[in-house]
Structure 1
């Protein structure tokens, strides 16, 4: 900032007080009286200050000037309190320099004495003056270029080429300019260092149908510091912004794709950088090589100019926005306009497969909430509880046709839709040595597939899914049209917390010989029935299905022990309150109970030395492997259904017969699928 001093002697005409004068204590220099009080005040005009010089001071001295005192105030604030006697030299050195008002402020005096003095004192005398302030010497003053002081104020001015902003302090450059056609653009101050405090806006235009081409030539030098722009060059069109640019490296030239461009150049208030040279010229307008994202053009060219027409088609996996075009539109034509833009333009959106419909299987769920469902995105499925296993594909991808697929197969058609199937043949193993006559008492969760029917006749059944159970045909014969009740999830037949299941359908094997009043039965062949429950059974550790067996040749049990269970008779009792189980082995049919009833290949004989199935166990399960030896890779399978045997249970000579379940696998699956 350059300071220029101008002497002007005239004060504002509104200031009516004298420019200088004297003020003294009453009676000076003859001495002042006791018990007096004197007040005095003067103010300076704007841009001036009032100074006071005390040339004589002789007052009674006291601690903290509590007897006689002279107080000086600046704008009502105490700046000095005096008493005692001081020489002129002492006053000039220590007191007078501080007796000054702010600009346009006031000074006031209060002189007060007490009731007596031990000796005569002459008082005080002071001289006041009004002085102009030189604001240009103020270090906080911010004139960009020149500061001019005058009496009562100051002003700022600028060097040639600059103008003063509205704040009347800052000098800036008038560099708002419009240009048409071709030329070279340099910042103000070129070829030397560019001007500071510049906020330049250059608007470049060319005729319609053409675009502006920009190139930097020569030296490029725009102030930066540690990679951050201090001064900046920015180029804007109606659709894009380039920059800001700074530093020593010139940006590459580029087609603006616009017939009008704004070049913005901003600088701070310091620096000696040299700027830039930017050439601008006109070229026939070109349109970009893409009409809309995710589309392909036909014909394919490296450059498209005004008037060119192309056919636009969405890429594979994308489709036109249904809100803008008809659903069956596969392509549209677009023409390059004089503005450098294509018209018309329709957007291509990725095909959306949507959220998969899981309403048909409420046990199926997505592994991720709100997954992306558009083209190429993936989803994964899971079963809601650990008692089910996913059957079918678990991972799927949204294909270009809007279908979820896995390994090329559609997800939600009837052939490939994944389902949740109950996990079968699993239990919570317990080992007990508490013997019950003829067997052992089961623990809860140990035989979770065991069901009990209490009426119209006591019997057992095996849960084979979350809707179906298997039992002996003779247990439910004659009651197919009735609603029967099965109990599960318990080991106590009187448990009030048992899972109660009501039947929806009872399907007896069509070749089973029904009981006919008055006619003797000839066989228990095909003694098997399917029971469908009216609602899905709530699977848990207490109630879970058993697996169906696999077809095999030869003996069913193949020399190993199996386990039979039920609530039937034990010893002399006709029924058991608690679930019992026993381990059996398979015997040749000749070792089994012999009667007039026909024995077929749909039956096998099994029993034990100390235990056997008995009345009330009919329809219950015989499973392999033996209870306590199962594993995830060796689940329990329903090999037999308690069917018929001797009237006396546990007879070592006459074992019981069991329906061979593996002979009925096709009938079971077909019946369940149809019903």
Structure 2
């Protein structure tokens, strides 16, 4: 029988036991005793009780008996009260209920606890343990943690919140707030106020307003300093209460404090206003003045566009014509448009604004023969720079081209004409300052334009005057149809590179098929090679004489001749004893003679004209096999650069070792240039072969 000190509690306790006896788990009450109670509890005991009561209740624990071996901190034997993972209380010792210091009962505000009883190896005094009851007791949530924003109402097993007049319980069933959402404003001008303004606005509220104007107008929001008072933190942060404006994907705010927001041009005819408050404060709120303005469209449709007509401001329904700035073009898919029409729309955007002005692309600059071109980009304003491959070519024309707004690469004169890498002529390592006695063997690089002309039955010489043309004597070629084989690139013609001829062009006034020739007037011909030759140190052209030049070469001026012809003759009783034809190119120095003096030494049966030059002296002359080769002089205007030009072509003579007659090239420069120009114009559309590489890098 349990003895209660308070009769009311005892009666209530038994009613609870009877009323809840049939309740399902979790239980409303229960009894717990130590093992073997009321006998002595065993040694090494370890027993656990799991106590659960329904939600909304706590656990009240009543002890009716307590007799557990006493030790410091209840180390030996003890009853533990465990909530969660923490031990809330240890019980041990012998207690008479009603004595000071022992809590006969204790309330635990939890729905779940564990009791754990343990004993050690010795219970010599036969301690009898404990007896207790637990009862589910109502929790007064209102007094414990004040869960409601306004009014808290407790009932057995739970609580509910309520609100003062004009407030409504929010979805969380805890917070009271004012229903201030749903305001729609469609007038062109008006005012919007926070709830109760100028009285303090309600706490725990979320107010939403919308301004919706006719398409083509934007909402303008303005504020006055006396009409803005929203709670803020000491550092000005808007984490307590805040005003936020949303329009056309933009956010303005949050705003709070006593400084009003600036005038806001929202750019949209639809504006949402959101006002959020927390549970504290007594600020008076705000007033917004809204008005309308026609929505402007941007002053450019997109980057690099030009609008016509041009205005400081474009408004709804304005029409314009759009084109691109210089260097840009309108692109729609794969089509290019000169311009298009656009309309300012109600949302402040232009129609057809999906088009774009893209930089004009000139494409890769055209490649040049014997040149490289460097560039990084091919769009408007970019540069392309041409440079010849090596020192044996010279760039004629501008080297820098710009990508124009028309999509063309143009030079400084706004022309598309490309430059050319023209061959550098007359470049040699030979110097006339060297003393020459008789014939000498040439070294590679001395006369890199010399060409051996092989007609099978006889040989001759020729001179490269460009990367595809050779000038020689007409008399060694016989006719137009006979094409010789050429050897180039080495002073030893046996080591030279074989080059084939595409076309033979004799001077039109050269007399063909003459048996006993005494007339060598117009003894000149051109050979077109099958393909161009890539110039280098072993092969490059000789210069042609300057047009109109009359002072050079002068009488007695020393020139040079070279060839693979007969090196010498040994005579005995007017008979040729030995003729030497060398493999290595021979050269010698010859002075220019007075043509009239030479004419006196020639039989009258021979024709001598102003198209001829006379050069040579005893022991220095050309011989058979040298015909077609050049009579060379150093350009007096380019002595520092050692440029040589061809003044004559070996034509005829009476005998070796005295003097010889040469075709005067200066008289034929026009014919040479016009003939080459005509042929190349006729063949401009033909596919060209890759230039032939003759020089080999060591």
Unmatched runs of 5 consecutive residues or more in structure 1: 1-8, 89-95, 412-416
Q: Deviations over 1:327-361 (max 9, x none)?
A: 999886x7777x48799869997698653686695
Match of 1:669 among 645, 668, 673: 673
- What residue is the counterpart of 2:493 in the other structure? 493
Match of 2:270 among 261, 265, 274: 261
Q: Is the 8 A contact 2:449 2:542 kept in 1?
A: yes
Cα distance change, pair 185–60 in 1 and its aligned pair in 2 (3 A): closer
- What residue is the counterpart of 1:438 in the other structure? 439
Q: How does 1:604-643 map to 2 (within 5 A)?
A: 604-605=613-614, 615-621=624-630, 625=634, 634=641, 636-640=643-647, 642-643=649-650
* Segment of structure 1 superposing worse, 428-437 or 386-395: 428-437
Q: Deviations over 1:488-534 (max 9, x none)?
A: 44454344xx65533222222223343x24232322x4333222223
Q: Secondary structure at the match of 1:638?
A: strand
Cα distance change, pair 286–18 in 1 and its aligned pair in 2 (3 A): closer
Count of residues in Structure 1 that have an aligned counterpart in Structure 2: 613
Unmatched runs of 5 consecutive residues or more in structure 2: 1-15, 96-102, 569-577, 680-698
Q: Is the 8 A contact 1:292 1:346 kept in 2?
A: yes
Q: How does 1:147-226 map to 2 (within 5 A)?
A: 164=170, 175=181, 177-181=183-187, 182-186=189-193, 202-207=209-214, 211-212=217-218, 214-219=220-225
Q: Secondary structure at the match of 2:504?
A: strand
Q: Is the 8 A contact 1:557 1:585 kept in 2?
A: no
- What residue is the counterpart of 1:507 in the other structure? 505
| Structure 2: distance between partners of 1:16 and 1:22 | 15
Q: Secondary structure at the match of 2:550?
A: coil
Q: Is the 8 A contact 1:426 1:635 kept in 2?
A: yes
Quick check: 1:385 aligned with 2:389?
A: yes
| Structure 1: distance between partners of 2:143 and 2:620 | 119
- What residue is the counterpart of 1:279 in the other structure? 289
TM-score, normalization: structure 1?
0.65
Cα distance change, pair 31–112 in 1 and its aligned pair in 2 (3 A): closer
Cα distance change, pair 44–341 in 1 and its aligned pair in 2 (3 A): closer
Structure possessing the higher radius of gyration over alpha carbons: 2
Cα distance change, pair 528–120 in 1 and its aligned pair in 2 (3 A): farther
Q: Is the 8 A contact 2:397 2:418 kept in 1?
A: yes
- What residue is the counterpart of 2:98 in the other structure? none
Deviation at 1:262, TM superposition (A): 1.5
Deviation at 1:279, TM superposition (A): 2.5
State the Cα RMSD in Å.
6.3
Q: Is the 8 A contact 1:194 1:274 kept in 2?
A: yes
Q: Secondary structure at the match of 1:478?
A: coil
Q: Is the 8 A contact 1:462 1:546 kept in 2?
A: yes
Cα distance change, pair 518–489 in 1 and its aligned pair in 2 (3 A): closer
- What residue is the counterpart of 1:93 in the other structure? none
| Structure 2: distance between partners of 1:126 and 1:573 | 148
Deviation at 1:388, TM superposition (A): 4.8
Q: Is the 8 A contact 1:235 1:241 kept in 2?
A: yes
Q: Is the 8 A contact 1:561 1:583 kept in 2?
A: no
Q: How does 1:271-670 map to 2 (within 5 A)?
A: 277-282=287-292, 285=294, 288=297, 294-297=305-308, 312=321, 314=323, 339=346, 355=362, 367-373=374-380, 377-383=381-387, 385-386=389-390, 388-393=393-398, 394-396=400-402, 398-399=404-405, 405-406=410-411, 409-411=414-416, 417-425=417-425, 438-443=439-444, 447-456=447-456, 457-466=458-467, 468-474=468-474, 477-478=477-478, 480-482=480-482, 484-495=484-495, 500-514=498-512, 516-523=513-520, 525-551=521-547, 552-556=549-553, 564-570=561-567, 574-578=580-584, 580=585, 582=587, 584=589, 586-589=591-594, 595-596=602-603, 597-605=606-614, 615-621=624-630, 625=634, 634=641, 636-640=643-647, 642-644=649-651, 651=657, 654-670=658-674
Cα distance change, pair 568–148 in 1 and its aligned pair in 2 (3 A): farther
Q: Deviations over 1:54-80 (max 9, x none)?
A: 97765999xx99xx99999887x8989
Cα distance change, pair 307–268 in 1 and its aligned pair in 2 (3 A): closer
